[in-house]
């Protein structure tokens, strides 16, 4: 996993806005199009740890897969939730900006400017 990584979905307006903010600051960005280059479960666990949240908090609950996979079931383990995100990466909230041992979700996009 890269130390300076931007997990990006080019079709997402918030992701594009966050990337533009970083680039406008002259910050070097290693773009990972996570829908094509899905992180491993270990990499995803490391990102979640850097975010300081639970796997459930990284889920996009409005995605059709969320309902189809019954991810609202509170008895599901963190590992099961992460496995669902790896199998269906559009369930991963975006964008995610990782710098060293820290990460933020770019919602709102200006959040990415808190890490440099």
Q: Which residues form the catalytic set?
A: 12
Give the alpha-carbon dihedral of 41, 44, 45, 47, to 10 degrees. 160
Task: Provide the token pair at 3.
Answer: 């130390």
**Three-class DSSP category at 5:** strand
- 56 with 81: CB under 8 angstroms? yes
């Amino acid at each position: 996993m890269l130390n300076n990584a931007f997990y990006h979905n080019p079709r997402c307006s918030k992701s594009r806005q966050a990337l533009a903010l970083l680039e406008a600051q002259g910050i070097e960005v290693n773009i990972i199009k996570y829908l094509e280059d899905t992180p491993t479960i270990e990499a995803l666990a490391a990102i979640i740890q850097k975010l300081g949240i639970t796997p459930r908090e990284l889920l996009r609950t409005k995605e059709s897969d969320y309902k189809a996979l019954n991810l609202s079931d509170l008895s599901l383990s963190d590992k099961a939730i992460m496995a669902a995100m790896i199998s269906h990466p559009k369930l991963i909230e975006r964008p995610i900006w990782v710098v060293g041992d820290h990460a933020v979700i770019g919602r709102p996009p200006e959040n990415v400017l808190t890490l440099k």
